[in-house]
Copies of this chain bind each other. A is one copy, B any other.
Amino acid sequence: MILEKKKAFNDFALSKGLRSTRQRDVILDVFLSTHQHISVEELYLKIKSSNTGIGHATVYRTLKLFAESGLAREILLHDGQTRYEHVIAGEHHDHLVCTKCNSIVEFEDETIEKLQKEIAARHGFLIKSHKMEIYGYCAVCKQL
């Protein structure tokens, strides 16, 4: 799983004429070891704590590469922090976001996805991406 992803990024790097560097290896390792929707800053701190200093700019740049390679997805929620999550081939989901405790619940809905495509088609629109987020209070927070 992890090896396949490293391989996939390697192939992407090769096809783009990118070079193999210690920094990118480290950032990829740390990213693949995370499981949440992690912000760039969080990832940066995680890397900093366990490795020789890797710069802010490099983390930003590398995560953009991961997204470009199809390994990661950039998520912009309503708090001005860019986050990244793992992309699972053939899978897509959207998010329920609790604005009290910041927890995120993922959901899939085939019907909504289909309706989105119909709406786009009706307007002659070519879909490149979409975002759907539902903001509110999670089951725990709503009764506080």
Contact = CB atoms under 8 A, between A and B. Distances in A.
A127 B134 contact: yes
**Interface size of A as a range:** 20 to 34
A16 interface: no
A127 B136 contact: yes
A35 interface: no
Contact of A139 (B107, B109, B124): B124
Q: Kindly report how many copies of this chain are found in the complex they form together.
A: 2
Interface string A91-104: 00000101100000
A45 interface: no
A107 B118 CA distance: 11
Interface in A61-112: 76, 78, 96, 98-99, 105, 107, 109, 111-112
B126 A137 contact: yes
A112 B111 CA distance: 8
B128 A136 contact: yes
A99 B131 CA distance: 14
A96 B125 contact: yes
A134 B136 CA distance: 21
Contact of A105 (B125, B134, B139): B125
A90 to B, nearest CB: 20
5 contacts: A78-B131, A96-B125, A124-B142, A125-B136, A130-B132
